[in-house]
Amino acid sequence: MLERNLPGFSSSLGGAAKGVGKYCIFPLPDYVTDMALVCVEDFEKKAEAHLEKNALDYYRSGAGEQFTLGLNREAFRRLRLRPRCLRDVSRLDISCEIFGERMKWPLGIAPTAMQKMAHPDGEVGNARAAGKAGSIFILSTLSTTSLEDLAAGAPETIKWFQLYIYKDRTITEKLVRRAEKANFKALVLTIDAPIFGHRRADVRNNFSLPSHLTLANFQGIKATGVASSNMGASGINEYVSSQFDPTISWKDIAWLKSITHLPIVVKGVLTAEDAVLAREFGCAGIIVSNHGARQIDTVPASIEALPEVVRAVGDDLVVMLDGGIIQGNDIFKALALGAKTVFVGRPAVWGLAYNGQKGVEEMLSVLRKDFEITMALIGSQTLKDIQPSMVVHESQYAKL
């Protein structure tokens, strides 16, 4: 048991409060009482012991000398919280709605490729954990679980599908049709990867998908007249890599919009200029993202780019963010600066590598409780109470 000297406090933190008066006592989950896993970094340390070097380096590496990878965290540390006191936070409501779907809290799982490298539960385990937490799960096109198997394995989870526009547009169109049929609720078009970034660790390791796994969404797709089932896993991988299209432009988003009824979210926007173009071409949402710092080094942290995107289109599009989120006050800072929800990628992989679906569930529970603590201590009972004035850059204080 953990005793907290908070008279009458009975929010959702740590479950229902026991007792009133001098002490409120909040029972902690079993996995917290063993003092093993209390923050996302703890899950990362556990994951390091479970992952082979090839997979570990793939998941955690960034582009170039990895300056932006570190900046994704450092930029959050440069933001200061300005808490408001004596505000009733006895009952917290952190639910939100995105594209008509109700979420229990403003956090989802970002698309991450090849999750069965982390654990046999793979994408299905990750999606089930997201569903239990009341979060969105975004399935990567480059997944080791097919759209159909993910839909069957996690039917209660809100699912979006991440995709690329390939050289062979019929591949993209077939993937879209499959996503629609499998009841995915939105398409997340990654627009910052006309080619792959230079990830030095992958080059050094000569990274490749383990031979017992395959890019499941491409099994059976015909490549230049040859069924991919006849190519083997390595052949599928090479074919998919060859399909990335450096000629892609905004007119291709207009094409994508013309072939689907699903809302289109563009992922990888870092500037107001591209945010305005996303609005002009009919996108429903934006994920401000630097691809986990995996595409090009020395671009801004996602949280640094968020304010200009919100100023440009925040009243017209649903603006979201991924990159660098590992604790509750990171979520709060992103929401205060205008994001409607945030996504985590690597933290979910760390939970998955540690203990499959249960590991992701535990990681999300730790992160949610940390966010609830932040909400209460900053004086925000609901998400609507979060104000931009509650977060400022450290330079505001340096002037003193």
Q: Where are the beta strands (DSSP E) in the chain?
A: 2-4, 24-26, 79-81, 96-98, 101-103, 107-109, 136-139, 158-163, 187-190, 222-223, 226-227, 264-269, 285-288, 318-322, 342-344, 391-393
Q: What pLDDT, on the 0 to 100 scale, is given for residue 14?
A: 41
Q: Looking at residues 150-176, what average pLDDT do you find? A: 97
Same domain for 21 and 156: no
**Whole-angstrom Cα distance, residue 50 to residue 52?**
7
Question: In the chain, how many domains are there?
Answer: 2
pLDDT of residue 232: 53
Q: Which residues are annotated as a binding site for FMN?
A: 111-113, 140, 162, 190, 267, 289, 345-346
Q: pLDDT category, 241, cuts 50, 70, 90?
A: confident
My answer on whether 18 and 99 are in the same domain is no
User: Of the listed 50, 198, 261, 291, which one is catalytic?
Assistant: 291
Same domain, 109 and 2: no
- For residue 164, which of 281, 291, 273 has the smallest C-alpha distance? 291
Q: CA of 297: how far to CAs of 246, 263, 290, 309, 346, in Å?
A: 19, 30, 9, 20, 18
Q: Do 25 and 45 fall into the same domain?
A: no
Q: Strand ranges (DSSP E) for 222-278?
A: 222-223, 226-227, 264-269
With beta carbons less than 8 A apart as the criterion, state whether 40 and 365 touch: no
- What pLDDT, in 10s, does the model give residues 25-52? 345 454 444 557 999 999 999 999 999 9
pLDDT value at position 6?
Answer: 36
Structural domain range at position 159: 40-398
Share of the chain above pLDDT 70, in %: 87
If asked whether residues 82 and 200 sit together in one domain, one would say yes
Mean of the pLDDT values across residues 299-323? 98
| 291 in catalytic set | yes
Q: What is the pLDDT of residue 9?
A: 35
> How confident is the model at residue 400, as a pLDDT?
57
256 and 356 co-located in one domain: yes
Residues 394 and 245 in one domain: yes
Annotated binding-site residue numbers? 58, 111-113, 140, 162, 164, 190, 199, 267, 289, 291, 294, 345-346
> Which residue would you say has higher pLDDT here, 236 or 102?
102
The first and second tokens of residue 165, run together, are 């526009």
Co-location of 29 and 44 in the same domain? no
Query: What number is the average pLDDT over the span 160-181?
Result: 96
In a shared domain, residues 16 and 94 = no
Q: What is the mean pLDDT of the chain?
A: 90
Share of the chain above pLDDT 90, in %: 83
| Same domain flag for 204 and 258 | yes
The single-letter DSSP state of residue 369 is: H
Tokens of 78: 């440069």
What pLDDT score was predicted for residue 399? Answer: 67
Q: Binding-site residues for glyoxylate, please? A: 58, 164, 199, 291, 294
Which of these, 128, 131, 166, 160, lies nearest to 147 by C-alpha position?
Answer: 160
What is the value of pTM for the model shown? 0.89
Least-confidence region, from 88-102, 220-234, 268-282: 220-234
Are 52 and 4 part of one and the same domain?
no
Same domain, 319 and 335: yes
Q: Are residues 65 and 297 in contact, defined by beta-carbon separation less than 8 angstroms?
A: yes
Q: Is the pLDDT of residue 19 over 50?
A: no
CATH code for the domain in which residue 254 is found: 3.20.20.70
CA distance 118 to 56: 8
Q: Which of 102-116, 223-237, 293-307, 309-323 has the lowest mean pLDDT?
A: 223-237
